[in-house]
């Protein structure tokens, strides 16, 4: 009886694979900023998003720099883990330049949402003087894009319950919306999360997917279908799976 060496596939079943260039640069920048803020805490106050400073002091860099700062080790750990797990496939599909553009649009859009909410009567005064930090707004945008491109991919909530990606993002959005309408203090960061979702959705639905990436996708899809016909291989699933893409 022939014997074959046992091989483990666990290393290839967790996560999307090696870190892509843009995500590697983002993780490095976030870690560097986190370490600098630990040594010089004043950096957080200067670079974090505070509407009173942006509007009153014209600290116009804060809607960009706030997303590189984090409040603790678990804060940055989970954000960077989510960025890697859900962003790698998007960067491979779009290219690094478009992915970075999308990431910053989502992050800055989340910041602008926070600035807009600071003028809302009843809630605005608290948001106006609050400090917001973290890449969560941009990461929420990445999650939304992943759900639009791979709506039926299972995501394990709490690492136990498999939920299709589209429903997972819907749940996150609903939680952020409800929390942003809640009591004092609890809705500031959730407003930023919701802003990241909305900014990402509007940007993608604006039809600004990189043309070369779209052509490359269509070409590869054509080659795959051609090989299937050549070897009499037929794909299963729903008939409309081929065209389930974002436009």
Assessment of whether the complete model's pTM goes beyond 0.85: no
Q: Where are the domains of the chain?
A: 18-205, 211-247
pLDDT tens per residue across span 84-94: 988 999 999 99
Angle at 149 between CA 90 and CA 205, to 5 degrees: 95
pLDDT tens per residue across span 125-160: 778 888 999 998 999 999 999 989 988 888 776 566
Q: What are 202-205's contacts with CB under 8 Å, separation 24+?
A: 202/109, 203/102, 203/105, 203/106, 203/109, 203/141, 204/102, 204/144, 204/145, 204/148, 204/246, 205/246
| CATH code linked to domain 18-205 | 1.20.1540.10
């Amino acid at each position: 009886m022939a014997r074959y060496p046992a091989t483990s596939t666990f290393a290839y079943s967790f996560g999307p694979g090696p870190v892509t260039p843009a995500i590697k640069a983002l993780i490095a920048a976030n870690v560097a900023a986190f370490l600098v803020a630990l040594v010089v805490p004043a950096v957080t106050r200067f670079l974090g998003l505070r509407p009173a400073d942006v509007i009153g002091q014209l600290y116009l860099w804060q809607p960009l720099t706030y997303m590189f700062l984090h409040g603790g080790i678990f804060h940055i750990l989970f954000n960077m883990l989510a960025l890697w797990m859900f962003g790698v496939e998007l960067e491979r599909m779009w290219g690094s330049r478009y992915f970075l553009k999308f990431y910053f649009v989502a992050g800055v859009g989340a910041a602008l949402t926070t600035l807009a909410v600071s003028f809302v009567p009843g809630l605005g005064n608290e948001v106006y003087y609050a400090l917001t930090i973290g890449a969560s707004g941009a990461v929420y945008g990445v999650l939304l894009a992943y759900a639009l491109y791979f709506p039926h991919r299972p995501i394990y909530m709490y690492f136990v319950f498999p939920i299709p990606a589209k429903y997972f993002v819907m749940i996150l959005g609903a939680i952020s919306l409800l929390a942003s309408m809640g009591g004092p203090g609890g809705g500031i960061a959730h407003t930023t999360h919701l802003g990241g979702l909305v900014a990402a959705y509007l940007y993608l639905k604006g039809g600004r997917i990189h043309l070369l990436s779209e052509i490359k996708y269509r070409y590869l899809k054509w080659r795959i279908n051609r090989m299937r016909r050549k070897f009499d291989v037929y794909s299963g699933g729903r008939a409309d799976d081929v065209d389930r893409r974002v436009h």
